[in-house]
Structure 1
Amino acid sequence: MEELYGEEVVSSQIVDAEEPLKAVELVAAAPVSTRALQEHWFRVIDEQASSISEFSAAEPVARDFSK
C-alpha cells in the first residue's frame, strides 16, 4: 500500500488485510472515501487479485510530510 500526496509517494508498506478498504482503514486510522478525490490519497496494490484500488481521506488530514 502507498500513501500519496499529489503524485508523490510519502510512504509505502505491506498490509495484511482481507480487502483493500480494510487495508486503508488500518493505515489511515480515519474514515476514507472509496474514490481518490483529494490531494492526500492511498493506492492499494493487491498482487494476488492483480488489482489496484485508490482511496482518499474522507476529510482533509493535516500531515507534516517534511520528515
Structure 2
Amino acid sequence: MITYMIDFIVVAILVIGLTATIGILTNGIGEAIGTKNKKKFVNKSASIQTNWKMVGGNGIYKKKTY
C-alpha cells in the first residue's frame, strides 16, 4: 500500500509539473507571435469611458489596466 501511495504521488507531481510547464511554454509562444493590436479592445474601452463619472469611493479599489 505504501508503494502504491508513493507511485501515485510521483505520477501526480509529474502530471501537474508537465501541465504547468506546457502552459508556460504555450503562453510564451502566444505572446511572442501575437499581433501588433494587443491592446486594441483595452484602448477602445478607455476611449469610450473618458468622460464618465467616477463611482465607488475614492478610487482605491479601481483596477488599473495596462
Q: Which of the pair has more CA radius of gyration?
A: 2
- Structure having the higher helix fraction is 2
- Give TM-score scaled by structure 2 length: 0.19
- Structure having the higher strand fraction is 1
- Give TM-score scaled by structure 1 length: 0.19
